[in-house]
Amino acid sequence: MCQPLRLLACVVGVSSILSGQLSTPLHAAQPAEAHADFTTDGGWCWFSNPRAVSRGGRTYTGWVTADGSIQAAELDHASGRVTTVNLHERYQRDDHDNPSFVFLPDGRLMVFYSQHGGGKHPNVIQSRTTVRPGDFTEWAPEVALALNEKAGLTYSNPHLLSAENNTLYLFWRGGGFKPNMSKSTDGGKTWAAPKIVFSRAGIPPGNRPYAQYASNGKDRIHLLFTDGHPRNETSNSVYYACYRAGAFFKADGTRICGENELPIRPEQADCVYDATRTGVRAWVWDVAFDKNDRPVVAYTRLPEETDHRYHYARWDGRQWLDTELCAGGKWFPQTKPGKKESEPHYSSGLSLDHTDPSVVYVSRPVNGVREIERGVTADGGKSWKFEAVTSNSKFDNIRPITVRGHAPDGPTVLWLNLHGGYVHYTDYHAGVKMDHPARTVGALISVPATKPEPQKGTGK
């Protein structure tokens, strides 16, 4: 029997979100406090994706609460109602654990999450799936994926390819802190043995490449990598590869290797940005693709820990074109007095619009507060026009994410509002905002439910 989940419902900005009829323009500048809340208690990192998806007049996202609970939420565009469920109560207080989402072929929603070391489930990816398509309130029991993982597991990224008989691909960080992948041909019931996707020769212990992924949902998965973590690498470059039909390719179509020849070495991949030439380290934030399936990339360069620079790069069919968007300020964690910042490479963040990657959302300091801005290019990234989404906000706004498949009557971009501060990825008090004005916010309704019982793991 499927166990019901705790159900929370919140009516958010109903007078402003009815059938897309907004009382102000979608991107009119206003304080973040005037935008609708998905939640007032939730955080996320930027390496577990998709973080937000939309289908059938509804938008879905998820987060980790201040007490460490994994939650998912559904916004009904027509009514403005937000329904929130607890996928796993008091899982772990760590924003790395945020859920990622994928729709199965029958329309059910599947969610993945994992602990960032420590706790009761340190080396396992867990998942839950809605029982019926279109019904967000009832979920099957939690499943632990038997992937024989080792220390360092985090960052789930699921993608479904319809042209491969709906094969479900899952990417994550594992196997000695390296990007890993597995696939399922039966909707996530069983999984193939994991493979390391990207690593230096010899797989150096402790080296941890970071990755971003995007898929057209049909036959391609775009992958973006770094050498490692910018705090550990003297130079941290940005690389690209594309998976299709059992092999990996550069942007120009040159074959890198087959799936059975993994891992990809840095020298084999497409080099988007070569940090060895500039001496400036980088970190990846997003990858998308244009109408011709050509990759578009968002990343940061870090000339100094106090000087983060946002970059936009795209493949024009012949070469990579790279543009600096703007300065992003220094790190955003609020370092305690007398303490050295442990994460000085955490930028406020940027995100591509996956529906139209000529649009980018950034977070950067304006008059001492980090605000969300929307940038648009009409010439392939050479020049940009920015407009404010938030302005004169009381608290910092960080880590914007565009909704995959966003609809005209729903939100386009979500972000974290640091109303209670952010000291560390285990010490934060934030909420998730959306780019809709909030005229009214309804009371939170809690309905008692039975705690879901974990189900045994699925294996190879």
Q: How far is CA 437 from the centre of its chain?
A: 23
List the chain pLDDT tens, one digit each, 460 residues: 334 344 444 333 322 332 233 333 344 589 999 999 999 999 999 999 999 999 999 999 999 999 999 999 999 998 888 999 999 999 999 999 999 999 999 999 999 999 997 777 778 999 999 999 999 999 999 999 978 777 678 999 999 999 999 999 999 998 788 999 999 999 999 999 999 999 988 777 778 999 999 999 999 999 999 999 999 999 999 999 999 999 999 999 999 999 999 999 999 999 999 999 999 999 999 999 999 999 999 999 999 999 999 999 999 999 999 999 999 999 999 999 999 999 999 999 999 999 999 999 999 999 999 999 999 999 999 999 999 999 999 999 999 999 999 999 999 999 999 999 999 999 999 999 999 755 433 333 333 233 444 444 454 4
Tokens standing for residue 7: 């159900």
Q: Please give the Cα distance from 146 to 98 (Å, whole number).
A: 20
Look-up of token digits 């891992």: 263
Cα atoms found within 13 Å of the Cα of residue 213, Cβ hemisphere only: 28
User: Taking a C-beta distance cutoff of 8 angstroms, is the pair 339, 333 a contact?
Assistant: no
Cα–Cα distance between 69 and 339 in angstroms, integer?
A: 28
Given this model, what pLDDT does residue 437 score?
Answer: 59
Q: Which two tokens stand for residue 158?
A: 């699921």
Q: In 3D, which of 345, 356, 298 has the Cα closest to residue 325? A: 298
Note the pLDDT of residue 147.
Answer: 87
Q: Quick one: pLDDT at residue 2?
A: 38
Token pair for residue 351? 């995100």
* Alpha carbons 149 and 137: distance in angstroms, whole number: 31
Please list the residues that pair with 315 across neighbouring strands.
Answer: 320
Q: Which ranges of 295-380 would DSSP assign to H, the alpha helix?
A: none
Q: Mention every residue, 6+ apart, whose C-beta is less than 8 A from residue 364.
A: 310, 326, 327, 328, 329, 348, 370, 371, 373
Write down the pLDDT at residue 438: 55
Query: What pLDDT is attached to residue 358?
Result: 98
Q: Which residues contact 370 (CB under 8 A, 6 or more apart)?
A: 329, 332, 348, 363, 364, 396, 397, 398
Q: What per-residue confidence (pLDDT) applies to 206?
A: 74
DSSP β-ladder status, 100-103 and 81-88: unpaired
- DSSP code for 454: P
Q: Which fold, 7-458? A: Methylamine Dehydrogenase; Chain H (2.130.10)
Determine the pLDDT at residue 120.
77
Q: What is the C-alpha separation between 403 and 53, in angstroms, rounded?
A: 5
- How many helices (DSSP H) and strands (DSSP E) are in the chain? 1, 36
Question: Which SS3 state, helix, strand or coil, does residue 104 take?
Answer: coil
Contact 85, 109 (CB under 8 A): no
Cβ pair 285, 211 in contact under 8 A: no
Rounded to 5 degrees, φ, ψ at 128 are -140, 155
In sequence order, the β-bridge partners of residue 447 are 7
> What's the confidence (pLDDT) of residue 453?
44
- Alpha helices (H) in 250-392, listed in sequence order: 275-278
Q: Show the tokens assigned to 47.
A: 């390496």
Spatial separation of the C-alpha atoms in residues 345 and 349, rounded to whole Å: 11
